[in-house]
């Protein structure tokens, strides 16, 4: 699998050089002999960049030898098969877009996630994750479930690294009330959320039923932030995992969800009470 983080880094650099050269998408694409839509996908990190295309772009941008050599090395990563991430041994068991999410998570400095029906994967206990997969939309064999639980659990290691990403989680109350895996599994999951929320770099809020309809009724989403900008949005659907291009609009959705949610303290009070109710 080509490196999604390399594609993203190269796209940011190419966009910066194009803008510094005073060229718009149409002008740059014409100079490189490609379509404007293809160049747009390159700048958003959606596709890799071939050497000839890169050379044509950099020439039209007036890039120097040092930038050309440096970007050529990054471009090689965007088209090379194989990824050095810890998830590579699981490549046959997970989709390429899910692997991209894991790669983006590993480099993100902030993660905002909204859970509309279930706890987001980064905060799931093993038993909760296993129960979800056993009853999920895709029928999986026992060994397939075990592998997916293992991957989901391994993803959570980023929360324990020396400089973890800031985490802002918003849950619909239905996530709290839906008993997944039985009362004891759910009780431990809720207490795990309480423990995670106690960390200084984590904010967790719950949107109560009383709010009624809210901005997140279309489903879950994850917004991954990076220090150089160009956030990435991940949405999970029945048809597949998508990276929408209207990142700003999803940021607005998340902010509206935060406004409808309970405060952090009141949210934790709800989680504790729900956990007690599971005994």
- Residue-wise over 255-276: b if at least 16 C-beta within 10 A, else e? eebbebbbeeeebbebbeebbe
User: For the chain, which residues score pLDDT lower than 50?
Assistant: 1, 82-83
pTM of the model: 0.79
- Predicted confidence at residue 189, as pLDDT, reads 98
Q: In DSSP terms, which residues pair with 113 in a beta bridge?
A: 169, 222
Distance CA 198, CA 187 (A): 17
- Domains belonging to the chain, first-starting first, are 4-79 (1.10.260.40), 91-277 (3.30.870)
- Predicted confidence at residue 22, as pLDDT, reads 93
Tokens 């890169």 — which residue? Answer: 54
What tens digit of pLDDT does each residue of 227-239 get? 766 788 888 776 6
- Predicted confidence at residue 179, as pLDDT, reads 97
């Amino acid at each position: 699998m080509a490196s999604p983080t390399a594609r993203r880094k190269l796209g940011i650099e190419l966009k910066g050089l194009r803008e510094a050269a005073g060229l718009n998408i149409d002008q740059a694409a014409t100079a490189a002999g490609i379509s404007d839509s293809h160049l747009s996908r390159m700048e958003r990190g959606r596709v890799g960049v071939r050497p000839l295309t890169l050379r044509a772009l950099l020439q039209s941008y007036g890039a120097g030898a040092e930038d050309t050599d440096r970007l050529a090395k990054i471009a090689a990563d965007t088209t090379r098969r194989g990824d050095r991430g810890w998830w590579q041994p699981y490549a046959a068991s997970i989709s390429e877009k899910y692997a991209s999410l894991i790669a983006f998570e590993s480099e993100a400095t902030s993660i905002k996630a909204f859970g509309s029906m279930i706890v987001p994967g980064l905060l799931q206990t093993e038993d909760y994750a296993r129960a979800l997969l056993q009853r999920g939309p895709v029928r999986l064999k026992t060994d397939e479930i075990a592998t997916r639980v293992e991957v989901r659990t391994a993803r959570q290691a980023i929360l324990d690294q020396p400089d973890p990403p800031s985490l802002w989680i918003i849950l619909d109350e239905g996530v709290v009330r839906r008993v997944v895996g039985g009362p004891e599994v759910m009780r431990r999951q809720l207490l795990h959320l309480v423990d995670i929320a106690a960390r200084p770099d984590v904010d967790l809020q719950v949107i109560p039923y009383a709010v009624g309809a809210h901005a997140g009724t279309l489903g879950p989403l994850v917004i991954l932030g990076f220090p150089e900008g160009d956030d990435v949005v991940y949405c999970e659907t029945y048809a597949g995992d998508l990276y929408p291009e209207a990142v700003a609009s999803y940021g607005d959705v998340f902010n509206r969800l935060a406004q409808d949610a309970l405060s952090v303290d009141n949210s934790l009070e709800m989680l504790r009470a729900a956990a007690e109710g599971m005994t």
